[in-house]
Amino acid sequence: MRGLIGQKLGMTQFWREDGRVVPVTVIQGGPCVITQIKTEEQDGYTSVQLGYKDKKEARATKPEIGHFKKANTSPKYFVQEFRDMNVGDKKEGDSVDVDLFDVGDLVTVSGTSKGRGFSGVMKRHGFSGGRASHGKSDQLRAGGAIGASSDPSRVWKGTKMAGQFGGKKATVRNLEVVAVDVDNHIVMVKGAVPGPNNGYVELMDRG
């Protein structure tokens, strides 16, 4: 497995060599610092912990400062662990960059979706709303009946209703890497990824 932490910069278009244009998301991936390497013998499983974006020591807790000092690096804002990641001969304190990925790779991108606040059923779940006829004027965007008869006399768990929309972890799989710019730490993936511009994302593939 290969993994990297980055920031979503926005979307644009990319022209392939055959003249086709594809929509892409531009991600600044890393450079990330290896803050911990876990092994089967010591921790019961193998993984690599990466840190991204420096944070002032004044804003870090004492346990955080001690953890990062073991890797000879400064505190980081964003830390993520990637299971079964192969970093070769790299050790704690070394950095990894977008050169982990190649053009044509299929990656999984995870991020926090845009928070849209308390939303109704039409916006949150795509309901069509009530019909605008026969004197109906106050139920045009209502969700309709939510209950059942006297049996079970309750609202089923998981019923689609109005509520908090967005602001949760979302994952998109099998996005194609269409360009990699190692000098500027940029990777472009085909299609959209979750979250707002400048939001943190995780890139992974099975390598």
User: What pLDDT does 86 receive?
Assistant: 82
0.75 surpassed by pTM? yes
User: What pLDDT does 160 receive?
Assistant: 94
User: What pLDDT does 172 receive?
Assistant: 95
User: What pLDDT does 1 receive?
Assistant: 83
Nearest to 161 by CA among 144, 140, 138: 144
pLDDT, the chain, mean: 91
Which residues in the chain come in under a pLDDT of 70? 207
The backbone torsions φ and ψ at residue 175, rounded to the nearest 5 degrees and listed phi first, read -90, 130
User: What pLDDT does 12 receive?
Assistant: 95
Nearest to 24 by CA among 201, 192, 203: 192
Instruction: Report how far residue 175's alpha carbon sits from residue 193's, in angstroms, rounded to the nearest whole number.
Output: 9
User: What pLDDT does 116 receive?
Assistant: 94
CATH of 2-118+169-205, one of 2.40.30.10, 1.10.3720.10, 3.50.50.60, 3.40.50.740: 2.40.30.10
User: What pLDDT does 150 receive?
Assistant: 85
In the chain, where does DSSP find H-type helix?
A: 40-43, 62-70, 121-125
The structural domains of the chain, with segments of one domain joined by +, span: 2-118+169-205, 119-165
User: What pLDDT does 94 receive?
Assistant: 87
